Amino acid sequence: MSGLLLNLHMASNNDRQDFLSKHGRTARVFYNNIVYVAMTLLGALVLASLNAEVGDDDPRVARYEVCALEGSTNNASACPKINDDQEYQLLQLFNISVSIVVINILCFIWSVATHWGYGIETHFMLQWALSAVNLGLLSGVVGWYNASEGLTEEANLENNIYFVDFNPYAVAIVGVVAGVLDLVLFNALKLGVFKSRCDAGPMPQ
């Protein structure tokens, strides 16, 4: 019985290695596509929260231009007035979230092109750096949110206009976790398990 289990385990390992040898590069390209789409969506959610329009004036203004992230205690204070420091904080959040969306859209377009071999070696070589950029930007978003000490107070989360539809702070934290997994876990697997089977060069025989 133990011999049968050992043979099944070895056969499973051989099948997995054969799959990586034949399809590792393609699988890595699809993985990159998924990462860039996910990061684009996360950045877009933060951006949508900041850039949603408020007020009855025409033209209407974006939330990040007039509403603070903290200070709401009831429905009447859903859009607390911002001071100079909060205005700068929100501008940084807006700029970083725009950068996340733009960078990942461009990376996705590049990644799609690598399906046909265009720039695939350079893309794979820079993959860790692109992952580090995403992690750095998303960490920056979380950091700037944390500049609001009263951000996560219960009354603020229940009443502040930024948290009406979803929690953009939680979205940013999810992005940081995903960024860590992408940068650390993928590269650990690449070095220790996948090795050259996922490289851009000729596939191992």
pLDDT digits (tens, 9 = 90+) for 56-81: 776 779 999 999 999 998 877 899 99
Higher pLDDT, 102 or 29: 102
Helix (H, G, I), strand (E, B), or coil: what is residue 151? coil
Higher pLDDT, 135 or 184: 135
Name which of 173, 198, 200 is nearest 188 in CA terms.
198
Cβ distance 159 to 150 under 8 Å?
Answer: no
Helix or strand holding residue 53 (H, E): strand 53-54
Query: pTM for this one?
Result: 0.83
Helix (H, G, I), strand (E, B), or coil: what is residue 87? helix
- Maximum distance among all Cα pairs of the chain, rounded to whole angstroms: 78
Helix (H, G, I), strand (E, B), or coil: what is residue 4? helix
- Over residues 154-176, the pLDDT tens digits come to 999 999 999 989 999 999 999 99
102 vs 86: CA distance, rounded Å: 24
How remote is the C-alpha of 144 from its chain's centroid? 16
Cβ distance 193 to 28 under 8 Å?
Answer: no
Which residue is listed with tokens 């590269």?
Answer: 187
Cβ distance 204 to 197 under 8 Å?
Answer: yes
pLDDT value of position 13: 44
129 vs 26: CA distance, rounded Å: 20
20 vs 78: CA distance, rounded Å: 53
pLDDT > 70 in the chain, percent? 79
